[in-house]
Structure 1
């Protein structure tokens, strides 16, 4: 399981009014756009995502979980009419129950969604809701609403600022409290208008989700379970919350608005297939074990629990403290599930991280033989070959890693290991280009440009590699305001 990071940034909107209020207007504009665009770039199921406030998002890479989510999503994507664009589903290393879409091409889902959902249907309901935002083109519409809210807020607060200035020159020698109230109210008007627009979009996405679930012959019971959970959590704070000052309808209201329609569906009592439930339970155990202390795993999955998900969790927990026991545990599972590629991947990971890359090669090869086009397996295998320090396999490692990053272009570690394989073979320019690509994946554009420029100096002008380096050197990161 690998971790990456990504960030998004917003650009400030400045009000350019009269010279007298220019500075005030600029501050107001910054504040308005900070609020408006933080909401505009995400459609959380419950709360605003980390990147909406400009912080880094820790992204989890795991082939098994990603495949499961794709299998959950594809029928929904088809029903929503977005199967051709096939948005990437990206896992976020956050245990809170949240999902969001920043654009039409990506859907972020917190690991907490999978860990807290007891059935696949609950996760599918989340995916259906987020698909409703993508199919409804809510992001593009919301940007227009954010712009209108910003204009309303700036005008309202500038008028308030005028009252503030009038108070300062009225002979009272002080600033008018009424003026301050007017300034605050001006911002609130625009913000409430914008939030009302968002609540309408959330309700539309809920209804769209119901249509997609019916079209795919699936129950909406999981969606209701999710909203009931939220409603229970909000029970003690709901009376203190202004329902017009939040971006989402209150959970209890969402539950009630969906309950009747959901229960009328012919599929309401339909259960998930046993095979899908098993895969869901395995992934839940895996995510819990990787993100929790071994003691917590022992409490959640005691030795008395002999199920395969419990064995999976204990094997992963053992990686952190008792690697020999982890290998024994994984081998015992492989005897029960000899064609499960993820068990071979786990065994290889235990060996590789335990400092034995040569022994890790065989289980990674087995995983690749079972899933030849899984980019993460190819990267693991190439990583183990490079780590074996055998010069005779560097050529093979380079070929495998090239295929790995072709299948999985988001793998920073794939590019870094490819660079190592290349530099050990004396291919410095190729190694610099691979390093630059890895830095692009990490979002370190300045460093990527430096390595790409260095690569260009030693690459044939006009060659495919030279052109790739040139693309990186010429790259200009998009800004939210220009999208």
Structure 2
């Protein structure tokens, strides 16, 4: 019985650190954001860091989370989640690059793999303490000693704390190791660590009041001021410490910050943050988005003004297409989406946008091209639910009912609605040739069994 109990506890410890965040993402509980411009910028921030860290060949995917708090995390070696709050609060590229460098330190240092082992060991300590405490309580009860019984109960109640503190201590060590690794990466890529230090300084100021009452040994991350003090001396030794941020990256950073703010804020808030008196490109971008969101008639004119200032910016054409599409004119949206795609022919989100506009134009002659574009998009980004839904419409309007059902089933799989996906896949199978690639894909969905996290625990 004891061996079985230990096995269960160890299984929990090994699954939990890796299951909590990624599982919620897989179930769609994390509100994710897709934006080609922001993702391209983050990729350019990360590329040199990944290279010097030795993980360029298995480049992790950077995923945006629609959360305005300043946070980032890595659930495994393949994915790095960054809240939009990082981009909204960071004033310079260096602050974001510092966050990426820190999270890269966790990946390159294989901290998540070792954390599983540490978690298992911590739980074993807790189990042993619980057994000893339970024994003391039983002995006290048998002897009729209230004092012994009380001591035993205290041991049982404190057992979890013993293991937990052991694990948290391990995590604090890994956080410090990731900080040091980030410093090495920044130095190796000839970048200043001032941005990373500014992030820690911000965190320290936020913790100024709460840390008065916090137990630093019960924190999984070192207190921000301690991290700041520990890195400042080493960072200042670097000959790149006073190196300024790349002005092109700063320009792109300002645009992305304005874009995210405008898309996630009420138009009136955007106009307060970026008033008409502000003539910067970022402010013009934000106001154009605010106008689009408020269904203003002048939105397209404002975007056209942006395009005139930078006619080779694909994201301005993307925004114009989006404004026309959401304004109920998908046929006119085709041209700007096509223009955006001409600059970045392999960008899956541009492929989806153009396919969406072609389908929405309600012209049967456009449907074969829409189908080709959407399939290309899915090949490059198999997690696009919009691509699958538009592909299903394109198939349906061409009389391809089984293919439409299969595309719908795939889209439902992406969204996590497995039961509905199975129904559509089963319906598609009835009209597909048995053994064909499409039939086998439908069969895979029908046969799919989602992981039972509760059972695994």
Q: What TM bracket, shorter-length normalisation? A: over 0.9
Runs of at least 5 residues in structure 2 that lack an aligned partner in the other structure: none
Q: Tell me whether 1:146 sits opposite 2:146 in the alignment.
A: no
Q: 1:192 aligns with which of 144, 151, 165?
A: 165
Change (3 A) 1:421 1:167: farther
**Other-structure match for 1:180:** 153
Counterpart-to-counterpart distance in 2, 1:53 and 1:83: 24
**What corresponds to 2:299 in structure 1?**
326
For residue 423 of structure 1, the aligned residue among 382, 386, 396 is 396
**1:171 to partner: Cα distance:** 5.0
Could you list the runs of 5+ residues in structure 1 that have no partner in the other structure? 1-15, 43-47
Higher helix share: 2
Residue 235 of structure 1 and its aligned partner are, at CA, apart by: 1.2
For residue 334 of structure 2, what is the aligned residue in structure 1? Answer: 361
Shift of 1:471: 2.9
Per-residue deviation, 1:326: 1.5
Could you tell me how far 1:365 is from its partner in structure 2?
A: 1.1
1:56-455 pair list within 5 angstroms: 56-165=29-138, 171=144, 176-455=149-428
- What's 2:429 paired with? 456
Higher mean alpha-carbon deviation, 72-81 vs 49-58, is at 49-58
CA distance in 2, matches of 1:247, 1:334: 47
Change (3 A) 1:116 1:38: farther
Could you tell me whether the CA contact under 8 Å between 1:38 and 1:53 is conserved in 2? no
- Which range is displaced more, 99-108 or 148-157? 148-157
In structure 2, C-alpha distance between the alignment counterparts of 1:346 and 1:177, rounded to whole Å: 68
Q: Does the CA contact (< 8 Å) of 1:39 and 1:52 recur in 2?
A: no
Query: 292-301 or 60-69: which moved more?
Result: 292-301
Given the alignment of the two structures, is residue 17 of structure 1 paired with residue 2 of structure 2, yes or no?
yes
CA offset digits 1:174-213 (Å, max 9, x no partner): 9944333211211100000111111111111111111111
- Going from structure 1 to structure 2, the CA distance change for 1:260 and 1:41 (only over 3 Å counts) comes to farther
The alignment partner of 2:298 has SS state of: helix
User: Displacement, 1:362?
Assistant: 1.4
| CA spacing shift, 1:357–1:175, aligned 2, 3 Å | farther
For 1:49-82, what per-residue CA distance to the aligned partner results, in whole angstroms no more than 9, with x for missing partners?
Answer: 9949998100000000000000111111111111
**Quick check: 2:367–2:394 contact (8 Å CA) kept in 1?**
yes
- CA-based RMSD of the aligned residues comes to 2.8
- State TM-score, norm by structure 1: 0.88
Give distance in 1, aligned partners of 2:32 and 2:354.
21
Aligned residue-pair number: 456
1:450 and 1:162 mapped to 2: Cα distance?
54
